Structure 1
Amino acid sequence: MLQDTPSFLAYWRNARSRTVRVLEALAPEDLEWAPVPGAFTFGDLFRHLAGLERFMYAENVRGRPSAYPGHGVELSGGLAAGLDGVRAYLDRCHAESLALFGTLTDADLLAPCVNPAGASMATWKWLRAMAEHEAHHRGQLYLMASLRGRPVASLFGLTEEQLAAASKTKS
């Protein structure tokens, strides 16, 4: 269970910063690239994460229905186009969401909220689902960056090779 709102907010800021590393590694020509026709592009994924955080998860935990606008480049009249536009949209949605999440009390975390499918669950579980959703798409983003030849900083400080080398020297 999420212990309290301040610890969740700190965790969530860190989790999002790991996702943003991919956006920071992209070149402008990467943004609307997809690994196969019809798949989400980098831009689609970042707009999707931003929109869901703000307009679904943050709304649902405040007792309101989802208002998810979608993930297309036409979002906000084109304001979420280009690397700068996507970053601004991601940052704005994240800041607004953090402000809404910050109003939750510890009792609110235990109280039920209703997701868009109509299922009721503890608010902390819905926030955990948001984190799992982010991790799912972060994996896609890292793989896509690799396919584009864009190196992204490792998630937790060591590459797999560095971990293996460090493990051998300590055994």
Structure 2
Amino acid sequence: MFTTVNDFLQEWKQEAAVTQKVLGALTDESLNQEAAPGLYSIGSVAWHVTGAAYYFPSQVGITFEVPDLRKEAPASATEISETYKLVSQRLTEAVSGQVSDEKMNEMVNLFGMDMPIQAVFRLLIQHQAHHRGQLTVLMRQADLRVPGVYGPSKEEWEAMNASK
């Protein structure tokens, strides 16, 4: 759990930077890659991650302006990446301005569960990491170079060892 707003913001900034790196590696051609026919595509998962960065905080009263996130996933990887960057930045600003350390312990109801706002923030980060993992698997299937997330990717590891 986060005991202060700053605790959350520091972790959010780190996690958002990793997500941004993954989204930045997508291509327009890769957005239709599915795990299997009829399942989520790279584009729909990436757009879902982008929307969640707004949806979770908005459900507990944190407000900020974002583009239309209810529309269908864009066909442009750059548009998804840039929208995520904007939403993440505005989330950071909104939390800084609207949430106090005391409010972190305020109880809210999310998905039918009572929890403190700090738990909503933890759930947001976990949700993002979960879908980021899905994206990296789909990226492998689409023959994209997967960036390292919590350490070097296979390609990054091979490049590090080749330079020794």
Does the alignment reach a TM-score above 0.5? yes
Structure 2 gap ranges (5+): 158-164
- Asked if the contact 2:28/2:75 (under 8 Å) is kept, the reply is no
Go from structure 1 to structure 2 and tell me whether the alpha carbon gap of 1:112 and 1:159 turns closer, same or farther (over 3 Å shift): same
- 1:85-164 aligned at under 5 Å gives the runs 85-102=79-96, 103-115=98-110, 117-159=111-153
Q: Distance in 1 between matches of 2:17 and 2:71?
A: 20
Shift of 1:158: 3.6
**Partner amino acid, structure 1, of 2:18:** R
Alpha-carbon distance in 1 for matches of 2:92, 2:83: 14
Kindly report structure 1 stretches of 4+ aligned residues shifted beyond 6 Å: none
Matches of 1:60 and 1:154, distance apart in 2? 31
Higher relative contact order (CA 8 A, sep 6+): 2
Structure 1 residue 22 and structure 2 residue 17: aligned? no
Letter in 2 for 1:57: F
Structure 1, gaps ≥5 residues long: 74-79, 163-171
CA offsets per residue over residues 124-145 of structure 1, 9 Å max, x none? 1111111111111011011111
Under a length normalisation based on structure 1, what TM-score does the superposition of the two structures give? 0.77
Partner of 2:51: 51
What is the identity percentage for the equivalent residue pairs of Structure 1 and Structure 2? 22
**Counterpart position of 2:161:** none
- CA distance in 2 between counterparts of 1:41 and 1:105 reads 38
CA contact (8 A) 1:48 1:71 kept: no
Q: Distance in 1 between matches of 2:104 and 2:120?
A: 9
Q: How many positions carry a matched residue from both structures?
A: 152
Deviation at 1:63, TM superposition (A): 6.4
- In the alignment, the residues of structure 2 paired with residue 99 and residue 43 of structure 1 have an alpha-carbon distance, to the nearest angstrom, of 26
TM-superposed CA distance for 1:62, in Å, is 2.2
Kindly provide the amino acid, as one letter, of the partner of residue 82 in structure 1: S
Whether the 8 Å CA contact 2:20–2:85 is kept in 1: the answer is no
